[in-house]
Chain A
Amino acid sequence: MFDTSRVQKEVVEFNRDTAISGVSIALYDGAGGADLTHLCGTISGPVGTPYEGGIFVIDIQLPSGYPFEPPKMQFVTRVWHPNISSQNGAICLDILKDQWSPALTLKTALLSLQALLSTPAPDDPQDAVVAQQYLRDYRKFLGTARHWTETFAKSASVGFDEKVKKLVEMGFPEDIVRSVLEGVKGDENMALEKLCSG
């Protein structure tokens, strides 16, 4: 039922131009593990938004009907955004629900999430508190969003061991993670890119 070959192709295709697109994807389990139904995506915060400079981790679950059913995506990194729950990271985006098309890919979905970060739709909110703030006091909203980005989405704020732990949890071997991370001077994002591109 589950189409592994398509997901494999997607993952390979995906990380070819990570540096340009600002989105990347990785498997959770070890390199040999075949669990293609649980993936981890990252998007970098778009320039010119309060999310700029942040790296946002997204948990991706693929249902057995994928790609004919939409992937289930959720923010792991906490984010202050009208269409993303500040509590649990649930996302309100049409293409992840009724507007999903089998011709869309994980990459297009993550790129859409990135676009969502730069253009919130407060009239169709997931988090009513954030949406209210966005509409009533935009400056305060910007401040909170920026603060959340600083606090939760900047790799610099995370200790080295924690970064290692996080990457190991994504399914990379610990010794490789340590060496790669050291090579990029603790930049988790760069490390992830290197790890993914193998």
Chain B
Amino acid sequence: MADDEDFPSSSDVEEPEDADCYLSDQYDDNAENVLQYLEDGRQEDCNWSVSSVITRESLLAAQKEDLRKIMELLALSEQHARTLLIHYRWDVERIFELLDQKGKDKLFSEAGVTNLENKINHSLSSFNPFTCSICFEDVSCSVITEMECGHCYCNECWTEHFIVKINDGQSRRIRCMAPKCNAICDEAIVRSLVSARDPDIAERFERVLLESYIEDNDKVKWCPSVPHCGNAIRVMGDIYCEVECTCGMQFCFRCLSEAHSPCSCLMWELWVKKCQDESETVNWITVNTKPCPKCHKPVEKNGGCNLVACICGQAFCWLCGGATGRDHTWSTITGHSCGRFKEDRVKRIESARRELDRYMHYHNRYKAHTDSLKQESNLKETILGKIAISENKDSRIKDYSWVMNGLNRLFRSRRVLSYSYPFAFYMFGDELFKDEMTPQETDLKQNLFEDQQQQLESNVEKLSMLLESDFQEFSDEEVMENMKHVINLSSVIDRLCKQMYLCIENELLYPLQRATHNIAPYKSKGPERASEHSSRFTKATNEDIDVQHGSAVNASGSPSPAKRLSQFQPSSSSDGKHGCSSTKRAKNEGSLDTPLFDLNMPAEVVDKSWT
């Protein structure tokens, strides 16, 4: 199947003489380039991140690793290790760092952990009878409890204190009752005293302690699915990434909204708000239809491709509304530069009107691509039907996985394209970066960006069109031809996406002086699908990785084994900078000297059909 993610070997993706069909740049493939790419990939993964799913069942196991590290290093009991980790937000590296800076005693006392080495032992029976200084009652020494910090009160008062704190949502940090005593109460004592009075509250306490790993941890977040799937996602490395939960939810790990790269989280937030506000004034017709350039009737789009035909017979481009030829050929769209926002056309219009126009321009294109994406999802069913017919045909071509690969490429690039419009809206608008760039600079950068966006767009449309062809009725030669085109286009598009991201990261966002906008890096395979949590994580051998990898594979893709290996390597380093959300990332040094190999492409497909 297409999803096997076989490691590409020494196969050629395309015939050299065919290459010029779609490419302006020189493009050649060989095994060396593949290796080169993998190396580049490793470099490029300075923004590496690897995600795993934590279910209710694996929540305990997931935190064991961190607990164990702290327990071993500091010779602590599990509950003390937990107290320490809760206080320092489960940041093991930070604890190690602070241990160096502050020393053990300070580290412990700030977190409310009693250093047992300093404890003075005395017998409780020496106080008999004991006057509890909370309720002022005289009680027998059998119903009093001394906390590790040495403070002693009657069990009734302790229990009442614990229950008040648990109900107040402070289960994770229940301090001793003594004034100015910072010590955190022994969780075993809390558990036993509270469960004797109210087992439900004790259970809540237990759950909150367990969920601290998610709630108090910058690297673990609940999956935002509604209704909630019960899972949380843990990300190791860069938190600016997009992940997919096992429930199928794809989201931005940073802001928990839908995956929106190459928009930054702030841009996306502003965009969503703007779209909501504007939709009240812009009615359904203007959003969903375009007037036909000939008969001026509103036309609604019902197919994936952006070449639309009105019932009057006029064909036009859905993006700009301009009349085009009727033919479904690429040449009619080639050179079609409608994605470019023409500044001069609106210069005369007053500024409010101009802003609306500007918004409409980007919104229309954003909407057009997201709508196309939805309609192309329906295409999947149709294509599966066509594949079934083709496979039963009397033909020497049996493998049609290239169609699905092409389709997946189409989905991913369509997403990138649609989110690139809100990105451009904010990048080149006045709202966010007015003081960062001179108008000349903005123009220059806008041209640079739009050039790439345009290239990507026209290739995506071509691919969309190709995939809609009725290949099940083609002769073998035509199918081969079609396949070649699809495969070529897919790799071109992947490369263009990557190029556009490099432009965004290095040319547009990196030079910003005041604002910091980090975006989730481009992933050839779409948002990373989080693997099931494995407690053997750090001890993972190659086999382990393969096992994990095998279980996580699905159609929407997960990193190839090689990519994963490279992601695992930095996990032992204590490089704190990626975890810090406010800092600017290093410049992406990924180079484009070597063409990208579409890892989506099973090697044997090409081998088989070419020989």
Q: How far is the CB of B560 from chain A (nearest CB, A)?
A: 51
Contact residue among B137, B160, B164, B177 (Cβ-Cβ distance under 8 Å from A103) = B177
Chain B residues, CB < 8 A from A95: 179
Which stretch, A65-73, A126-134, A157-165, A166-174, touches the partner chain B?
A: A65-73
Contact residue among A9, A65, A69, A101 (Cβ-Cβ distance under 8 Å from B177) = A101
Report whether B160 and A6 are in contact in the complex, using a CB–CB cutoff of 8 Å. Answer: no
Which stretch, B128-136, B249-257, B313-321, B341-349, touches the partner chain A?
A: B128-136
Report whether B179 and A103 are in contact in the complex, using a CB–CB cutoff of 8 Å. Answer: yes
Chain A residue nearest to B176 (CB atoms) is A101
Give residues of chain A (127-186) contacting chain B, Cβ–Cβ below 8 Å. none
Q: How far is the CA of A65 from the CA of B136 in the complex (A)?
A: 16
Q: Is the C-beta of A30 less than 8 angstroms from some C-beta in chain B?
A: no
Report whether B136 and A103 are in contact in the complex, using a CB–CB cutoff of 8 Å. Answer: no
Chain B residue nearest to A101 (CB atoms) is B179
Q: A101-B180, A102-B177, A103-B178 are in contact. Are A3 and B161 (CB under 8 A)?
A: no
Q: What string of 1s and 0s marks CB contacts (under 8 Å) between B160-175 and chain A?
A: 1100100000000000
Chain B residues, CB < 8 A from A65: 160, 164
Q: A101-B179, A101-B180 are in contact. Are A68 and B160 (CB under 8 A)?
A: yes
Q: How far is the CA of A89 from the CA of B58 in the complex (A)?
A: 51
Q: How far is the CA of A138 from the CA of B177 in the complex (A)?
A: 38
Q: How far is the CA of A166 from the CA of B180 in the complex (A)?
A: 36
Report whether A67 and B136 are in contact in the complex, using a CB–CB cutoff of 8 Å. Answer: no
Q: Is the C-beta of A34 less than 8 angstroms from some C-beta in chain B?
A: no
Q: Is the C-beta of A5 less than 8 angstroms from some C-beta in chain B?
A: yes
Q: Is the C-beta of B157 less than 8 angstroms from some C-beta in chain A?
A: yes
Q: What string of 1s and 0s marks CB contacts (under 8 Å) between A82-104 and chain B?
A: 00000000000001000101111
Q: A101-B180, A103-B178, A103-B179 are in contact. Are A6 and B161 (CB under 8 A)?
A: no
Report whether B136 and A102 are in contact in the complex, using a CB–CB cutoff of 8 Å. Answer: no
Chain A residue nearest to B179 (CB atoms) is A101
Q: How far is the CB of A79 from chain B (nearest CB, A)?
A: 25
Q: A68-B161, A68-B164, A69-B164 are in contact. Are A101 and B136 (CB under 8 A)?
A: no
Chain B residues, CB < 8 A from A3: 135
Chain A residues, CB < 8 A from B136: 5-6, 9-10
Give residues of chain B (155-202) contacting chain A, Cβ–Cβ below 8 Å. 157, 160-161, 164, 177-181
Give residues of chain A (48-70) contacting chain B, Cβ–Cβ below 8 Å. 65, 67-69
Chain A residue nearest to B160 (CB atoms) is A68
Q: How far is the CA of A105 from the CA of B161 in the complex (A)?
A: 15
At the interface, is chain B mostly helix, strand, loop or mixed?
loop
Chain A residues, CB < 8 A from B181: 101
Chain A residue nearest to B134 (CB atoms) is A102
Chain B residue nearest to A8 (CB atoms) is B136
Q: How far is the CA of A65 from the CA of B137 in the complex (A)?
A: 17
Q: How far is the CB of A25 from chain B (nearest CB, A)?
A: 16
Q: How far is the CA of A115 from the CA of B547 in the complex (A)?
A: 66
In this complex, the interface size class of chain B, counting residues with CB under 8 Å from chain A, is 10 to 19
Q: What string of 1s and 0s marks CB contacts (under 8 Å) between B137-164 and chain A?
A: 1000000000000000100010011001
Q: How far is the CA of A95 from the CA of B160 in the complex (A)?
A: 19
Report whether A5 and B178 are in contact in the complex, using a CB–CB cutoff of 8 Å. Answer: no
Q: How far is the CA of A139 from the CA of B373 in the complex (A)?
A: 71
Chain B residue nearest to A68 (CB atoms) is B164
Q: How far is the CA of A179 from the CA of B161 in the complex (A)?
A: 44
Chain B residues, CB < 8 A from A101: 177-181
Chain B residues, CB < 8 A from A6: 134-136
Give residues of chain B (93-147) contacting chain A, Cβ–Cβ below 8 Å. 133-137
Q: How far is the CB of B135 from chain A (nearest CB, A)?
A: 5
Chain B residues, CB < 8 A from A67: 134
Report whether B135 and A103 are in contact in the complex, using a CB–CB cutoff of 8 Å. Answer: no
Q: What string of 1s and 0s marks CB contacts (under 8 Å) between B389-415 and chain A?
A: 000000000000000000000000000
Q: How far is the CA of A102 from the CA of B174 in the complex (A)?
A: 13
Chain B residues, CB < 8 A from A10: 136
Chain A residue nearest to B162 (CB atoms) is A68
Chain A residues, CB < 8 A from B179: 95, 99, 101, 103-104, 108
Chain A residues, CB < 8 A from B180: 99, 101
Q: How far is the CB of A9 from chain B (nearest CB, A)?
A: 5
Q: How far is the CB of A109 from chain B (nearest CB, A)?
A: 11
Give residues of chain B (446-471) contacting chain A, Cβ–Cβ below 8 Å. none
Q: How far is the CB of A127 from chain B (nearest CB, A)?
A: 26
Q: How far is the CA of A48 from the CA of B224 in the complex (A)?
A: 59
Chain A residue nearest to B156 (CB atoms) is A3
Give residues of chain A (1-22) contacting chain B, Cβ–Cβ below 8 Å. 3, 5-6, 9-10
Q: How far is the CA of A103 from the CA of B179 in the complex (A)?
A: 6
Give residues of chain B (420-455) contacting chain A, Cβ–Cβ below 8 Å. none
Q: How far is the CA of A1 from the CA of B324 in the complex (A)?
A: 80
Q: How far is the CB of B320 from chain A (nearest CB, A)?
A: 56
Q: How far is the CB of B103 from chain A (nearest CB, A)?
A: 25
Contact residue among A99, A102, A104, A108 (Cβ-Cβ distance under 8 Å from B161) = A102
Q: How far is the CB of A135 from chain B (nearest CB, A)?
A: 28
Q: How far is the CA of A173 from the CA of B157 in the complex (A)?
A: 36
Chain A residue nearest to B137 (CB atoms) is A5
Q: How far is the CB of B110 from chain A (nearest CB, A)?
A: 16
Q: How far is the CA of A102 from the CA of B157 in the complex (A)?
A: 9
Chain B residues, CB < 8 A from A5: 135-137
Q: How far is the CB of A114 from chain B (nearest CB, A)?
A: 17
Q: How far is the CA of A99 from the CA of B177 in the complex (A)?
A: 10
Chain B residues, CB < 8 A from A108: 179
Chain A residues, CB < 8 A from B153: 103
Chain B residues, CB < 8 A from A99: 179-180
Q: Which of A6, A9, A95 has the most CB of B within 10 A?
A: A6
Q: How far is the CB of A6 from chain B (nearest CB, A)?
A: 5
Chain B residue nearest to A69 (CB atoms) is B164
Chain B residue nearest to A67 (CB atoms) is B134
Q: How far is the CB of A106 from chain B (nearest CB, A)?
A: 13
Q: How far is the CA of A65 from the CA of B163 in the complex (A)?
A: 10
Chain A residues, CB < 8 A from B133: 103
Q: How far is the CA of A6 from the CA of B134 in the complex (A)?
A: 8
Q: How far is the CA of A101 from the CA of B147 in the complex (A)?
A: 15
Chain A residue nearest to B167 (CB atoms) is A65
Chain B residue nearest to A108 (CB atoms) is B179
Q: How far is the CA of A6 from the CA of B137 in the complex (A)?
A: 9
Chain A residues, CB < 8 A from B160: 65, 68
Chain B residue nearest to A100 (CB atoms) is B179
Q: How far is the CA of A129 from the CA of B419 in the complex (A)?
A: 48
Q: How far is the CA of A104 from the CA of B181 in the complex (A)?
A: 12
Can you list 22 A-B contacts (CB < 8 A)?
A: A5-B135, A5-B136, A5-B137, A6-B134, A10-B136, A65-B164, A67-B134, A68-B157, A68-B164, A95-B179, A99-B179, A99-B180, A101-B177, A101-B179, A101-B181, A102-B134, A102-B161, A102-B177, A103-B133, A103-B177, A103-B179, A108-B179
The 7 closest A-B CB pairs, nearest first, are A101-B179, A68-B164, A102-B177, A9-B136, A102-B134, A65-B164, A68-B161
A68-B157, A102-B177, A103-B177 known, 8 other contacts, Cβ within 8 Å: A6-B134, A10-B136, A68-B161, A101-B179, A101-B180, A102-B134, A103-B133, A103-B153
